[in-house]
Amino acid sequence: MNLCQPATTSPSARQLLAAAQRHLGDGTNALPRLHTEGTLPHQGIRDQSIAAEKDWPVLRQAALAWRLSADPRYLQQVEAGLAAWTGTYQPDFNPIDETNLDQLIDTYTLTANALSPQTRAASQAFLRKLGNGYIAQIRQFHGSKGGKEINNWQSHRVKLVTMAAAALADHAMLEQAFQLFQQQVTDNLLPDGSVFDFRERDALHYVVYDLEPLVQAALAAKPYGGNWLTYTAPTGSSLVRSLDWLVPYANGQRSHQEFVHTRVKFDRDRANVGEAGYSGTWEPKSSNKLYWLAAQLDARYLPLARQLSPTPQDWIGACYLK
């Protein structure tokens, strides 16, 4: 079950098909391990990891192209890619390293019923290992409320657990995911709508980085019932309240100088090497994906999404725009 229902009528679908055609001959670059978290350009295996991860949007693109066109070449590309990655990659349960696995999960969800029994079984085993592994990791926190146990890292854990559960149609795992989502709304989203990471990092970059995975979790869970977007914690916090808190910055009514009072040295390190977005005025357009996704759950956000970007990323348009 998936809210993404590809339709050939949207301009995004035509753009996606053209892009998928260009990537039909691409091979896969599966690695057993990836690591980008906490690294600056050219440190460790960062560059190799980023290069390998480029497989994932291509595979999702191929899955959508197959759904749009029924061209068997795209399904063959997905088969080869899923078989390579699920047979090679070993999850390290670092959610910053692995957050982009959402693209591989989407790839499976869009094609699951058409995959060979071997690739389907391998993909399901991989997703079960991923989801259960993150749940087990979170249990080891024993209710601790510090740093990476409640900051954006936990938002990305919640996303991966929820998307794995939804892809597998595993209702027990999905119930655990909702419990984790509720706890993150309580721990990370503040009653005024701001988020824990904004207090720590003084950056709207991290507000988006916190909210986007939670919106993706809500999107993945919606076909199974319930409206996670409006769930309100006993504190009064909710995902919709935090999205609304960010709106005046996203629509240009307010501005913010990024990372001026951050408490994290790595933020200053990235600014010092010139990484884009780690100093200066926050760029509202960097929230366009967040609000295009949120608009699929609440149409109030659609005008803002269009203001930020007249059209969404092609995969979002191909999934949701008819």
Q: What is the pLDDT of residues 45-63, one digit of tens each?
A: 999 999 999 999 999 999 9
Amino acid (one-letter) located at 182: Q
| pLDDT over 70, % of the chain | 100
- In which band, very low, low, confident or very high, does the pLDDT at 8 lie, cut at 50, 70 and 90? confident
Q: What is the mean pLDDT of residues 218-238?
A: 96
- The alpha carbon of residue 25 and the mean position of all alpha carbons in its chain are separated, in whole angstroms, by 26
* 3-state per-residue secondary structure call for 115-137: CCHHHHHHHHHHHHHHHHHHHHH
What the block records as the tokens of 127 is: 């997703």
**Contact predicate 259/267, CB 8 Å:** yes
Confidence at residue 145, expressed as pLDDT on a 0 to 100 scale: 86
Picking from 248, 236, 176, 188, the residue whose alpha carbon sits closest to that of residue 212 is 188
CATH 1.10.357.10 fits domain 11-320 = no
List residues bridging with 281 in a β-sheet. 257
Q: What is the mean pLDDT of residues 215-242?
A: 96
CA 152, 296, 316 angle in degrees (round to 5)? 80
DSSP 204-255: HHHHHHHHHHHHHHHHHHGGGS--GGG-B-TTS-BHHHHHHHHHHHHTTSS-
Arithmetic mean of pLDDT over the chain: 96
Specify the 3-state DSSP secondary structure of 195.
strand
Least confident span in 3-17, 39-53, 180-194, 294-308: 3-17
Task: For the beta carbon of residue 114, count every other beta carbon within 10 angstroms.
Answer: 16
What is the Cα 134 distance to its own chain's centre?
15
Using CB atoms within 10 A of its CB, is residue 311 exposed (0-12), middle (13-18) or buried (19+)?
middle
pLDDT for 278: 92
Q: What's the number of CA atoms in the CB half-sphere (13 Å) around residue 69?
A: 19
pLDDT score at 59: 98
* pLDDT band (50, 70, 90) for residue 1: confident
Calpha distance 3→293 (Å, rounded): 11
Torsions phi, psi for 133 (to 5 deg): -65, -40
CB 301 within 8 A of CB 309: no
Confidence of residue 10 (pLDDT cuts 50, 70, 90): confident
Give the Cα separation of 98 and 37 in Å (integer).
9
| Confidence bin at 143 (pLDDT 50/70/90) | confident
Give the model confidence (pLDDT) of 60-85 as tens digits: 999 999 999 999 999 999 999 999 99
Q: How far apart are CA 149 and CA 31, in angstroms?
A: 27
Map out the domains of the chain as residue ranges: 11-320
pLDDT band (50, 70, 90) for residue 23: very high
What's the pLDDT score for residue 182? 98
Q: Does position 322 have pLDDT exceeding 80, yes or no?
A: no
Q: Residue 25 has what pLDDT? A: 87
Band of pLDDT at residue 266, cut at 50, 70 and 90: very high
pLDDT for res 144: 83
